[in-house]
Amino acid sequence: MSGSEWTCRLSSMHEWESPYYEPSLPVSEKSNPLTRDIDRASSGCIVRMLQACDSQMFLEEAGATYQRLMSDGVVETLMEVAKKVELILKDPRDSLVVLSGCGTSGRLAFLVTSAFNRALKELNQSPVYSYIIAGGDKALFSSQEAPEDDPKLGMLSLKEACEGKKRVLFIGISCGLSAPFVAGQLDLCLQNPQVYTPVLVGFNPTHQARDEPIPGCSFTFRSVVQRMEGLAKSQKAFLINPAVGPEAISGSSRMKGGSATKILLEVVLSAAHAAAFTHTPITQQGILQHMRAYEKTLEIPCAHNEGMSALLEAAGKSLQRGRRVCYLGWGSLGVLGLVDASECVPTFGADYEDVRGFISGGYNELKNNEGPLGPDFRISHEDFLHLVLPSLDDHDMVLLIYTQTDDVSDVEKLARRVREKTSNLHAVYHRVDGDTAATDDINKLCLSSLRITWPSPASGLLQMQWELCTKLFLNALSTGAHVLKGKIYQNHMMDLQVTNSKLYCRATRLLQKLSGCPESKCEEALLKAVYKVDNLTVEITSSDISTHTHTARTRTKVVPLALVCLLTGCSLAEAELRLEQQPIVRDAVEACLS
Ligand code: F6P
């Protein structure tokens, strides 16, 4: 890289921190200068852009506007929270650690509580962790965005989870410091300090917490945060909110937000477990060491750039042809596959069948609160064999996701079955140096294999690194494939679902940015697309946002339709026709703009 290219890259690494950069938006909603042209990039370039975005998670603090993952203040709070968890682990009677969030944040709460309850079980200890996800377990694998707006539901689900408990450490996760569901839970904690100690995890500075009124509540997310700030001084509440930079696709907090959530929660809980069970004191050094192991993990995908861009290309081709991408995973990496696949529906307006994940052992492996979720949520490899495999051919891509600790003979068996239908079979495989697992035959069955070799012996930390690496990898694969399919305009998801108040506001803002029209006009156009009318009635304009978002649940392409109307002044019917003729939203928008 030349000197000037480097300076340019460095300045876009930090540009988002300038007070003049998209000043009305919180960090989590800003657009990332690094990915401005991602919609026109080659697969190799997309991979590098996404990696550069991820690396912003670990930017140094020196001279920075916002605190970082490894800033002193953040590390101190992590130590304090770890000590609270340690106390519960040492005396778990009538106590609980609850992790809760909406969408990806709730999915990570599930993943992390599962892993640490498993660790407790291995030590013959009873579980102390519990997860809550807005919308219940079906939200683990589908988008349930309306419950995110419901603070009462949040409170009730927390009360129910903590029935009979005398001491609860509540960890609420909201990447944007924005979800009313979590605000309601934090408020409950603040009202009942004799039982609950609240911790908030998110990735905006506190003054950027969402301040919109929440219908039926006297608090906003920001006012809850301010109350917590007051209590933080006496360690009665904790705020963990480093900035990790804007998402590669604006607002897509499943990416860095999710990864940083996983890192923070695992650092805290690992430190607490080490303190409680191996007498390892909780120290700043220990926390930083764990963080650095994750920072190193980020280098792994970079070392496999070529393989990753080939996979991204293959997935993009399948999606462009209207075919499928299937993830077949084992253990917790299988869960990450399920999660990544299901997030494609709300994130990219993808069809449920476009990207699907399956896990070995299905619900038996998952051990979720509600058990099997019924015929709409089939997730086992057997389901894949019966329901999906028969219709596959070479245009469909299948990806095996496994590690040396999984049953490789099972992987091989499944690979053989897949090869009978498609040669478009690939693998991501984690192993440690010197691993002797017999995977050569699997590799021969695959068109490409990313074999990631790790230096240290398999351990709890290594499993978490495998997971983070797999998450980064799958997020890049599914995001990149949808970029190649033309779902992204610049670095914005155009075809977003407008199914809760946050997404409604995001959609209006996007229309403003792309059309240059005033907010009121953009909201009008959005409502016309939502209600499928060219003229708004008083009934529509006097309804509240929850009515609009409820109606929008069954609508498609509302934002692209509204934008075409705004840019051309045409009717909704004409806009629909234009989008039918030009189904690649990015191209349709560009055609209007030119
Ligand atoms: O509203 C949908 C969504 O943006 C999901 O994509 C995301 O995972 C969820 O909300 C939760 O967001 P946050 O963690 O900021 O509360």
Say yes or no: CB of residue 500 within 6 Å of ligand 1. yes
What does the pLDDT read at residue 403? Answer: 94
Q: Residue 15 pLDDT more than 60? A: yes
Does ligand 1 lie within 6 Å of residue 266's CB atom? no
Which atom of ligand 1 is nearest the CA belonging to 251?
4
Among 37, 50, 35, CA closest to 311: 50
Q: Quick check: CB of 309 below 6 Å from ligand 1?
A: no
Q: Is the pLDDT of residue 6 over 90?
A: no
**Structural tokens at position 154:** 């949040």
Instruction: Return the DSSP state at 127.
Output: P
Closest CA to 173 of 94, 58, 266, 236: 266
State the Cα torsion 388-389-394-398 to the nearest 10°.
80
> How far is it, in rounded angstroms, from Cα 398 to Cα 447?
10
Whether residue 243 has pLDDT greater than 80: yes
Closest ligand 1 atom, residue 252 Cα: 6
The finding on whether 147 has its CB within 6 A of some atom of ligand 1 is no
Taking 60 as the threshold, does the pLDDT of residue 4 lie above it? no
Say if ligand 1 is within 6 A of residue 290 CB: no
How far apart CA 82 and CA 88 sit, in angstroms, is: 10
pLDDT classification of 459: cutoffs 50, 70, 90: confident
**7 has pLDDT over 50:** no
Q: Is the pLDDT of residue 100 over 50?
A: yes
Separation in Å, CA 99 to CA 131, 340, 379, 435, 512? 5, 20, 24, 35, 36
DSSP 338-361: HHHHHHHHHHH---TTTEEEEETT
Whole-number Å distance, alpha carbon 538 to ligand 1 midpoint, is 31
Identify the CATH number of the domain defined by range 494-593. 1.10.8.1080
Instruction: Report the distance separating Cα 10 and Cα 13, nearest Å.
Output: 5
Q: What is the average per-residue pLDDT within 112-116? A: 98
Q: Residue 3 has what pLDDT?
A: 45
pLDDT (0 to 100) of residue 458: 59
Q: How many residues does the chain have?
A: 594
The answer on pLDDT for 5 being more than 70 is no
Q: Using the mean position of ligand 1's atoms as its centre, give its distance from the Cα of residue 185 in Å.
A: 16
Taking only the tens place, the pLDDT of each residue in 400-434 is 999 999 999 999 999 999 999 999 999 999 998 88
| The predicted structure's pLDDT at residue 187 | 98
Of 174-188, 314-328, 486-500, 522-536, the poorest mean pLDDT is in 486-500
> What's the 499 CA to ligand 1 centre distance in angstroms?
11
The ipTM, to two decimals, is: 0.98
Q: Which CATH architecture has domain 72-297?
A: 3-Layer(aba) Sandwich (3.40)
158, pLDDT greater than 60: yes
| pLDDT band at residue 582 under the 50/70/90 scheme | confident
Question: Could you tell me the pTM of the whole model?
Answer: 0.95
pLDDT of residue 321: 95
Task: Tell me which amino acid residue 127 is.
Answer: P
Q: Tell me if 72-297 shares its fold with 494-593.
A: no
pLDDT of residue 419: 97
pLDDT band at 2 (very low <50, low <70, confident <90, very high): very low
The 3-class secondary structure across 384-432, one letter per residue, is HHHHHHHHCCCCCEEEEEEECCCCHHHHHHHHHHHHCCCCCEEEEEEEE
What CA dihedral angle connects 396, 397, 401 and 404, to 10 degrees?
A: 110
Assess whether the C-beta atom of 179 lies below 6 angstroms from ligand 1: yes
Is the pLDDT confidence value at 584 over 60? yes
Question: Does residue 104 have its Cβ closer than 6 Å to ligand 1?
Answer: yes
Spatial contact of 54 and 60, defined as CB atoms under 8 Å apart: no
Most ligand 1 atoms within 8 A of CB, residue of 255, 502, 504, 546 to mutate: 502
Where b means 16+ CB within 10 Å and e means fewer, 74-89 reads: bbebbbbbbbbbbebb
What are the contacts of 388-392 at 24+ separation with CB within 8 A?
A: 388/324, 388/326, 388/356, 388/358, 389/417, 389/418, 389/421, 390/421, 392/324, 392/326, 392/418, 392/421, 392/422
The residue extents of the domains of the chain are: 72-297, 316-487, 494-593
> Which tokens go with 514?
């792309």
Architecture field, domain 316-487: 3-Layer(aba) Sandwich (3.40)
Cα 62–Cα 68–Cα 73 angle in degrees, nearest 5: 95
Q: How confident is the model at residue 9 (pLDDT cuts 50, 70, 90)?
A: low
97: left (phi over 0), alpha (psi -120 to 50) or beta: beta
**Residue 172 beta carbon below 6 angstroms from any ligand 1 atom:** no
